[in-house]
Structure 1
Amino acid sequence: MTYTIAQAEQELQAKCEKLNLRWYPRYHLAARAGWINDPNGLIWFDGWYHAFYQHHPYSTQWGPMHWGHARSKDLLHWEHLPVALAPEGPEDKDGCFSGSAVIDGDTLALIYTGHKFRGDVSDDENLYQVQCLATSRDGVHFTRQGMVIDTPADLHHFRDPKVWREGDNWYMVVGARVGDTGQIRLYRSADLRQWQDEGILDEAEAGMGFMWECPDLFSLNGKRVLMFSPQGIAAQGFENRNLFQSGYLVGDWQPGEPFVRAGEFVEMDHGHDFYAPQSFLTPDGRRIVIGWLNMWESPMPEQQDGWCGMLSLPRELTLNENNHLQMRPAKEVEALRQAWLPWPASSLKNQQTLMANKAEAMEVVLHWDCTSSDAEQYGLSLGEGLRVYVDTQMQRLVLERRYPQYGLCGTRSVPLVPGAPLALRLFIDSSSIEVFVNDGEACLSSRIYPDADRRQLSLFAWHGTAILSEAGAWQLE
């Protein structure tokens, strides 16, 4: 089947009127209808933030990838634009896979992976992935420029180009797989069209994954951060619990030199649902990242409602003196705030106290005095399906979701410093929660699926007392 942008637009216009909106996000970006996964091409161009994304407009399942497109003045209120790319050429006939965007003079350039099979699609030996270019003057309509990097010899998995400019050259990192070893390839160009192979930037040692997807290399605080999404890291204890991860290595790199690591791989988000993050720069120089709020091969109950998948809140990245990447909600998110609702709770003892009857678009602020709290478990619950709480026996902050009717039960957690205060910002949307811990020290993001009449928000403390120094919530636009 040949796909076109016009066909995709017709499909979306027909489908978007039939959505069940019970879990559709109130303030996160999702597709008009159909499937969405990785964010692509995040950039500021000609007065707008642009977000492209992996998109299958024809169903709520993953399928031949298109590039969906939306733009915003403030990273919050998104205007849907026509589909930017469809798999309509010989180089991408089976999908326009992930990539990035750059500004070249007065032109917006998309660099993406063309995905194609030559023969049986069940055999990776027939898979070829190449890097392609498309350009636009108006940021809406794109002209395909074709393939700019062919599949290297003996490679089949070779995707997700991230491009940036440094000095007089463009640079590109591409994720790859050689046997069962993930790696990141590096390329250099003067014009975005002719690319020179600069070799392997970094690759996995034993246990670090068979494929490194969605690579991104950028500078923070005098260091280089190599962000990527490895596939095939085994879970150990509390770490790497999801099917695939997203994380980073900190190190040093200069053009023409090897990347030298300065630490171990670290997960970026410890919730159930966060993958394929991509970063970009704001006009004032902040490094912002947005990820996909879903996880491969997990149940996605919204598929029955005509849509599937969403993107995370924009998050500002900083690197502290210990080379730890911190993620905070971008300052723009505060513009969503409406009424502030102070919560009277200051002390809880063996009780659960109702704080809101219906939490649907809300930012909750909780400051726990852990030194003065001795309850075994204390925290917040949303209906019967979600709890975010301190477990004092494990000394961990736990996000627990329980939706057995959808096959979604389990916990994710991060360690706490014994006796240290705990400040939380929790962003609740129709079907998601993002928890920011101690001003960006950690983050947990998960999809949630409460029934409309089971969105009561409560605080609780069991087997002892818990003390709050601040508690309340912002209603969000």
Structure 2
Amino acid sequence: MEMDVFIFLVGLCAVSAEFIDDTSYIESFINQREPTLSRKYRPIFHIIAPDGWISNPAGFTIFKRQYHIFYQYHPYNGAWGRMSWGHAISSDLIEWIHYPAALIPKDYYDKHGCLAGTALVRKNFLTLFYTGHVSEKESMQTQNVALSGNGLIFQKYLYNPLVRDSPNGIGEIRNPKVWRFRNVWYMIVGTTSRQWNGQLVLYTSTDMFNWKHNGTLVESFGDMGYVWENPDLFEIDGYHVLILSVQGIEADGYRFRNLYQNGYVVCFFNYQRARFEDLEVSTATFYELDYGHDFYGAKTLRAPDDRILMVAWLGMWESNFVESTEGWASMLTIIREVSMNKDGRLLLTPIREMVELRSEVLENAWYSPGEVFDAESRSFELIADSRSVDADVGIVFEWKNEGRFTIGYSAEHEYITIDRGGVDGVRRAYWSPKDYVHLRIFVDASSVEVFCGDGEVVFSSRIYPKSMSIRITGEAQLHIVQYRIRRSVGFDAKVAQRLKQDILHKY
């Protein structure tokens, strides 16, 4: 028996009886009812919690031929609170089923929150690395692990925390990104330096449970904020891509306009030296993943067909979540496929499986500037194409409470702009389509995601429409195809029945 499996089994046999005996969170999940899904502004094809607050994706993996997405989750109301790990499962990336929370904050090292980290599979165990948060006189954050053999009930390792302290002596250290290369496990954790510059620290392990601090991997030069969190790393086309969620970058024109930023740098990780080669993380090398108002904490997964898949929080801190009065708040983005163009820039496109959600064609015609038609659905996909790139293109979504969301392409200046109104409602990105303007837009009750061309530019934003209509503006005719999209996220009675029989009766 390998040492890491032996260590785990020893810890599992001695795991706290309290964790297994406390099934109240499962009982609460079983008592959830489908009508909670029909609340005002609630989406139907985006992953969302059964109830309460949702924020950053916490983990994204495949276990026993099913996709598992975890997310930071406060189940009691539509506001931030002690974070659990929410859980949704799919067999095809389209139909998502709610599962009970995977992690609950209750132990001395995580009693004020189980924060995002990594989900992976090791030795037939679904394994969750996460940050335990304690906020008393001083904030304390530690790195921990929990495991499951069935993907339903997760048991925290008896000898948590795995990493007890920040090497800088500062409480801000969270969101472990964990992976294995050959016989070594690597853990990157986001933190801040003593000079309050964002940085990443590295830990290594040979057994996944005992970790050695290997120093600072990379640090801000001073222009990249004061805290780095939610690090993610993947390989594509011979390069490594490092994703960071950054607090404290100052806006630069139409760059970095959100409160916090989520972007990437292209780099190379040298496993022999356990270091990045010639990596510079600065505002000159850091590219935003999404130019909309609401995008943060992106996580990636390499699928069995070798695609890189990405999901993120379709939200932003300190936003006005109108729906919170209904007892819920926010959602995750639709899943995107990640590729790289010849210039080393990432392209984000909707996963190809999204076409399976089309239930009805609502529009299929050419429209001239000034023409208007009703959206006819709260949740739809709209594809807009022009004949060339030499004329301005515009689409305006309008609704009865005098709100609007505007998309406009400027041929002269070669940029595309969105405007959802209000203070700081404008976002803009440079874009140079080659032959014609192609937009693919997803609206889901209270969100809009705009994919431009082959995914060179993406905008993700929250909106709160009522009785939407669509007006064509600009100078060019647009060919519009609009599809109604069906519900694909919800409860499954079979899951509840299985929980009653296999879990509640057992414990």
Q: Distance in 1 between matches of 2:433 and 2:307?
A: 32
The structural deviation recorded for 1:183 is 0.6
Alpha-carbon displacement from aligned partner over 1:239-265 (angstroms, at most 9, x marks no partner): 000000100010111212421337701
Stretches of structure 1 that go unaligned for 5 or more consecutive residues are 121-125
- After superposition, the Cα gap between the structure-2 partners of 1:19 and 1:419, relative to the gap in structure 1 and judged at 3 Å, is closer
Tell me which residue corresponds to 1:109: 127
Q: Distance in 2 between matches of 1:52 and 1:439?
A: 28
Tell me which residue corresponds to 1:188: 204
Alpha-carbon displacement from aligned partner over 1:171-213 (angstroms, at most 9, x marks no partner): 1111001232001111111221011212222111111110111
Query: Which range moves more in the overlay, 15-24 or 290-299?
Result: 15-24
Maintained 8 Å contact 2:83/2:105: yes
Q: Distance in 2 between matches of 1:389 and 1:343?
A: 21
Aligned to 1:162, what secondary structure does the other structure show?
A: strand
Q: Which of residues 96, 104, 124 is equivalent to 1:86?
A: 104
Q: Distance in 1 between matches of 2:115 and 2:188?
A: 15
Q: Distance in 2 between matches of 1:378 and 1:392?
A: 11
Task: Give the letter aligned to residue 54 of structure 2.
Answer: I
Maintained 8 Å contact 1:84/1:140: yes
Tell me which residue corresponds to 1:238: 254
Tell me which residue corresponds to 1:283: 304
Aligned pairs (5 A) from 1:66-465 = 66-117=84-135, 119-120=136-137, 126-145=138-157, 146-153=160-167, 154-178=169-193, 179-255=195-271, 256-259=273-276, 260-261=278-279, 264-345=285-366, 348-349=368-369, 351=370, 353-373=371-391, 378-383=394-399, 384-392=403-411, 394-402=413-421, 410-417=425-432, 421-451=436-466, 454-461=467-474, 465=475
Alpha-carbon displacement from aligned partner over 1:376-396 (angstroms, at most 9, x marks no partner): x62242434211122456542
Tell me which residue corresponds to 2:485: 476
Aligned to 2:231, what secondary structure does the other structure show?
A: strand
- After superposition, the Cα gap between the structure-2 partners of 1:137 and 1:251, relative to the gap in structure 1 and judged at 3 Å, is same
Q: Distance in 1 between matches of 2:99 and 2:36?
A: 19
| 1:41 maps to 2:56 | no
Task: Give the letter aligned to residue 111 of structure 1.
Answer: F
Maintained 8 Å contact 1:40/1:100: yes
Could you tell me the TM-score, scaled by structure 2's length? 0.85
- After superposition, the Cα gap between the structure-2 partners of 1:416 and 1:60, relative to the gap in structure 1 and judged at 3 Å, is same
Task: Give the letter aligned to residue 406 of structure 2.
Answer: R
Tell me which residue corresponds to 2:10: none
Aligned to 1:344, what secondary structure does the other structure show?
A: strand
Stretches of structure 2 that go unaligned for 5 or more consecutive residues are 1-17, 487-507
- After superposition, the Cα gap between the structure-2 partners of 1:152 and 1:357, relative to the gap in structure 1 and judged at 3 Å, is closer
- After superposition, the Cα gap between the structure-2 partners of 1:340 and 1:231, relative to the gap in structure 1 and judged at 3 Å, is same
| 1:32 maps to 2:46 | no
Maintained 8 Å contact 1:19/1:306: no
Task: Give the letter aligned to residue 243 of structure 1.
Answer: L
Maintained 8 Å contact 1:11/1:58: no
The structural deviation recorded for 1:20 is 5.9
Percent of residue pairs bearing the same amino acid type: 34
Tell me which residue corresponds to 2:501: none
Task: Give the letter aligned to residue 340 of structure 1.
Answer: V
Tell me which residue corresponds to 2:3: none
Aligned to 2:132, what secondary structure does the other structure show?
A: strand
- After superposition, the Cα gap between the structure-2 partners of 1:5 and 1:202, relative to the gap in structure 1 and judged at 3 Å, is farther
Q: Distance in 2 between matches of 1:357 and 1:65?
A: 37
Q: How many residues align?
A: 455
Higher strand share: 1
Tell me which residue corresponds to 2:73: 55
The structural deviation recorded for 1:370 is 4.4
Q: Distance in 2 between matches of 1:33 and 1:5?
A: 20
Task: Give the letter aligned to residue 313 of structure 1.
Answer: I
Q: Distance in 1 between matches of 2:25 and 2:74?
A: 9
Aligned to 1:333, what secondary structure does the other structure show?
A: helix
- After superposition, the Cα gap between the structure-2 partners of 1:44 and 1:14, relative to the gap in structure 1 and judged at 3 Å, is closer
The structural deviation recorded for 1:287 is 0.9
Q: Distance in 2 between matches of 1:299 and 1:84?
A: 28
Maintained 8 Å contact 1:5/1:84: no
Maintained 8 Å contact 2:55/2:330: yes
The structural deviation recorded for 1:326 is 0.9
Maintained 8 Å contact 1:219/1:225: yes
Aligned to 2:451, what secondary structure does the other structure show?
A: strand
Q: Distance in 1 between matches of 2:263 and 2:119?
A: 21
